[in-house]
Amino acid sequence: MRPEYGETWVYESIIGALPGVDISRGAAIAIQLAVFETAVLALAWYYDLWNAAVAGTAAVVVAAVGSVEMLRISRAARAPPSPEPYRRLLFGSSVEVVLAVLAFVALVTHLFVFDPGAGGSLVETLFGPEPPILVVYLTLLILWDLCYRIGTGWWTAVVALWRSGRYRFDADAVDTLRRADAETLGFAAVQLLLVPFVVDYPVLLAALVGHVLAVAVVVALSLTLLTLRER
């Protein structure tokens, strides 16, 4: 059975609410990956932007991995005896969307205002001095998709720490929740695939690596509390 609304990510709710559409979550991820990657390669071919296509492909892959991890985390988080307040906070608050919006606005501001003003531009490096409109549109769409999944990963880590400090679980539940936390950490680590593309941009590099390290610390604390407070 599909989970009820209020116990799903916004991403899952949109898929489930589309009229006349009844596809599995796995199929939705495959379609997401195929559509974005086809668009990246088509525009790279049309505008001869093959260097940018490498960065675009990396971003698409990271976003797709994020979708997979979201589904794996959600299955573990919904497994009994998961506390209802934990599920409500994780899925029903939509805080991950707020975090994604903040991250996306900060990223766009950096790319189009701060970066050029500092004497360098990642956008110009990838797309040239006059980026094609369609390329910019697709780039922003992929970056939003990526920011949403990164925001979800961060919120998942924070809620996991709250859960581990608030509740005590038996050995079976600890094993299930430990897997959910490990998936959160795994997705954060996958984001390091983007490091080669921002290594010459200190602010972006610090934000990316700092985010991954912060998630790792929070998840490590959650895992520690799960173990220490096991019933």
Range from 37-51, 92-106, 111-125 carrying the lowest mean pLDDT: 111-125
In a domain, 73, yes or no: yes
pLDDT in tens, 161-205: 999 999 999 888 899 899 999 999 999 999 999 999 999 899 999
In a domain, 132, yes or no: yes
In a domain, 101, yes or no: yes
Question: Domains in the chain: how many in total?
Answer: 1
Report the alpha-carbon distance of residue 209 to residue 101 in Å, rounded.
Answer: 19
In a domain, 5, yes or no: no
In a domain, 161, yes or no: yes
- For 101-114, what is the mean pLDDT? 92
Report the alpha-carbon distance of residue 3 to residue 16 in Å, rounded.
Answer: 10
- Report the Cα–Cα distance between both ends of the chain, in Å, rounded: 30
Range of the domain at 132: 10-228
Q: What is the pLDDT, as a whole number, of residue 47?
A: 94
Q: What is the pLDDT, as a whole number, of residue 7?
A: 64
Mapped to the 3 state alphabet, what secondary structure does 98-113 carry? HHHHHHHHHHHHHHHH
Q: What is the pLDDT, as a whole number, of residue 1?
A: 45
In a domain, 151, yes or no: yes
In a domain, 205, yes or no: yes
Concatenating the DSSP letter of every residue in 107-167 gives HHHIIIIIHHHTT--HHHHHH-SS--HHHHHHHHHHHHHHHHHHHHHHHHHHHHHHHHHH-
The CA-based diameter of the chain, rounded to the nearest angstrom, is 61
In a domain, 1, yes or no: no
pLDDT in tens, 52-72: 999 999 999 999 998 888 888
